[in-house]
Amino acid sequence: MEAYLVAIAIIGAIYVLLTLGLTLQYGLTGLVNFGHVGFFAIGAYASAIVSMQGVPLVASFAFAALLAALAAWPIGLVALRLRDDYFAVVTLGFGETVRLAITSEKWLTNGVQGIPGIPRTFAGLGVGLPGALATLAAITLVCVAAALALRRITRSPFGRVIEAIRDNEEALKALGKDPARFKIQVLALGAALAGIAGAFYAHYITYLSPDQFIPLVTFYVWMAMIMGGVGRVSGAVVGALLLMLFLEGTRFLRDIAPDAISGVAMASLRLGAVGLALILFTLFRPQGLVGDYTRR
Amino acid sequence: MSLVVRGITKAWGGFRALDGVSFEMESTGLLGIIGPNGAGKSTLFSVVSGFIPADVGSVALDGTSLDRLGPAARARAGMIRTFQVPREFHHLTVRENLMAAAPGQSGEGLLGLFLRPGRVRAEEDAIRAEAEATIDFLRLAGVADTPAGRLSGGQKKLVELGRALMAKPRLILLDEPFAGVNPVLIEEIMARIRDLNGRGIGFLVIEHDLDALSRLVPRVVVMDRGRVLATGTPQAVLADAAVREAYLGGAPA
C-alpha cells in the first residue's frame, strides 16, 4: 500500500510539473499549447538515452530540460506569426510529430519496441521503497522550486508583461515592448519544465515507448489546469493532484468490484469520469478550485 | 525637429482609406486632426504608428525614417499612440496597467529578475511612485486596484492616456482622448496636456469634440474621404467652405 501511494505521489508530482509549465504558457501568457506532451517526450527520451550511455543523471536531467527548451524555439518563432487558434493546431501537430519521430527513428529510440532498462533515480537505494521515497523527495523539491520561481515571475515586471500579452498584445506593442521575445522565453521555460517532468518519468518507469506519449497526456494537463484554476500557481498544484485522484480513484473502484468491470471498460470509464468532471467544472466552477486570474 | 508624413496611401481593394495624406508638425508641437466619420483619421494613426503598413508614403520622426520599423520599435523611437476603442490590459489593475508601460525595466528580463532582485525592487518602487502620481492626476485613485476591464469607457480612456504618459514618449498620438470623459476632467486633462507640451512633449490629437479641440491646439488638419482637405487654425478651417461642406453637410455653422 505504501509503495502504491508513493507511486501515485510521484506520478502526481510529474503532472504538477507539467501543469506548472502550461500555467506559465497558457494561464499567464495565453499561448494555447496543445503539444505539451511533445516536450515531455523529448525530455524523457533525451534523459533516458544519454543516461544509458553512462552520463550521470544530474547531467541527463539538465540535458532533458535544455533539449525540450531548444525544441520550443522554432515553435516560438512560429507562434509570433500565428493567431491563437492556428498556434493551437501547430502545437498539436508538433506533439504528434514528436511521437511519430520517436516511432520511426529506431536507431535512436528503438521504435515501438521501446527502451527498457532505463537506470532508476537513486538506484543505489535499491528497487524498493527507499529508492522511491528518495525519488519522491527529489521531485517534490523540484516542484517546490518551480512553483516558487513561477510565483516570483507572476509578481514581477516580467509577469506583468506576459499577462499584458494575454490581455492585449497590440496595446503592449503600442507601448514599445516586443511580445515576441517574451513568448519565446515563456515557451522555452514551460517546455523545460515538461522536459524535466519527462526525465523523472523515464527514470521512474524505467521503460519508454511511443504509446506513452499520446495527445491524451496533453489534455490531462489541460484538465488539471482548468480544474485547479487557470493562471494560478496554486491552481496548477491543486489541479494536478485532483487529476490523480480521478485517474487513480477509478482504479480503486475496480479493486472494490473486480468482476463487474473489465480492464478495457475501466480505462474508458476513467476517461469518461475525467470528461464529466471537466464538464461539471466548466459549468459550475469555471474559475477552478482555487480561482483563476480573472478573480484575483 | 518634426514629424513628417508624406504621401500616405492605403487601399483595401478598391476602397482608398488614405489617399496621399501629407502633413508635418513640430515634434514638440500640438496638432489636431478632425474630419467626419470614415475620413481615415484612425487609419492614419495606425499607419503612422506602424500597425498598418502603408501602400505608398513615408513617415519620419526628428529626421529618422520610421518606414522599416514595426509598431513596438516606432514606440521606442519616442512616439506612443492610444487607441480609439481603449485596449486596456483588462485583467491587470489600473496600477499594473500603468506600471507595465514604464520603459527599460530590468525586471522584464528573467536573468535580471532572479539575479538582481534588489535592483528590480528599487526600480519597482520608483515605477510604482510614478504610477501613483499619474493615477492621482487622472483621478483614478478610487479604482487603482480595480481590474481595468471593469472600468467605464471614459475611465479606460484615462488609463490609456496614463499608460502613454508612463512610457515617456517625445510625441503622443491621442485618438479621441475625450470621448466619454466627464467635462470637468476634460478641462483638467487639456490643462495637463498644455503643461506637458510646455515641457517639450508633442501631441497629435484626433478629436470629434471640435469645441474642445479648438481650445487645445493652435492648428488642425481637416480630413475627408482619405484626403487632407485643409490645414490651418481651427477658426480659419471652420470658415473654409469646403470644410463646412464635408464636415457640416454645408449647413451654416
- Give the pLDDT confidence of A117-154 residue by residue, as tens digits: 999 999 888 778 899 999 999 999 999 999 999 999 99
List residues bridging with B65 in a β-sheet.
B60
Q: Cell 491543486 identifies what position?
A: A238
Average pLDDT over residues B161-168: 96
Q: Give bridge partners of residue B25 from the DSSP assignment.
A: B3
* Cα A39 to Cα A33: distance, rounded to the nearest angstrom: 11
Contact A174 B49 (CB under 8 A): yes
DSSP string for residues in A216-272 = HHHHHHHHHHHHH-TT-HHHHHHHHHHHHHHHHHHHHHHHHSTTTS-HHHHHHHHHH
Interface of B with A in 42-81 (CB under 8 A): 49, 51, 70-73, 75-76, 80-81
Q: How far apart are the first and last CA of chain A?
A: 40
- Give the domain ranges of chain B: 2-88+167-248, 90-150
How far are the Cα atoms of A43, A110, A116 from residue A102, in angstroms, in the given order?
12, 8, 15
| Terminal Cα-to-Cα distance of chain B (whole angstroms) | 36
DSSP code of A285?
-
Q: What percent of the residues of chain B are helix, what percent strand, and what percent coil, each to the nearest 5?
A: 45, 25, 30
* Residue B115 C-alpha, separation from nearest chain A C-alpha, in angstroms: 12
What's the mean pLDDT when you consider all of chain A? Answer: 92
Burial class of residue A101 (count of CB atoms within 10 Å of its CB; 0-12, 13-18, 19+): middle
The confidence score (pLDDT) of residue A1 equals 76
pLDDT above 60: residue B173:
yes
CB contact under 8 A, B99 and A160: yes
Other CB atoms closer than 10 Å to residue A250's CB: what's the count?
18
> Which sequence spans correspond to the domains of chain A?
2-212
Residue B37 has what pLDDT? Answer: 87
Look at the block and give the residue holding cell 519616442: B78
Position A215 scores a pLDDT of: 94
- The rounded distance, in Å, linking the Cα atoms of B204 and B26 is 10
The neighbour count for residue B223, using CB atoms within 10 Å, is 27
State which CATH number among 3.40.50.700, 3.30.70.270, 3.40.50.300, 3.30.379.10 fits the domain covering B2-88+167-248.
Answer: 3.40.50.300
Chain A nearest CA to B107, separation (Å): 5
Q: What is the mean pLDDT of residues B44-48?
A: 96
Higher pLDDT, B96 or B187: B96
Question: B33 has which bridge partners?
Answer: B206, B221
Cβ contacts of A168 on chain B, cutoff 8 Å: 87-90
Whether A241 shows a pLDDT value over 50: the answer reads yes
- Given CB atoms, is A170 within the 8 Å cutoff of chain B? yes
Is the minimum CB–CB distance between B124 and chain A shorter than 8 Å?
Answer: yes
Count of pairs with CB atoms under 8 A, one residue in A, one in B: 98
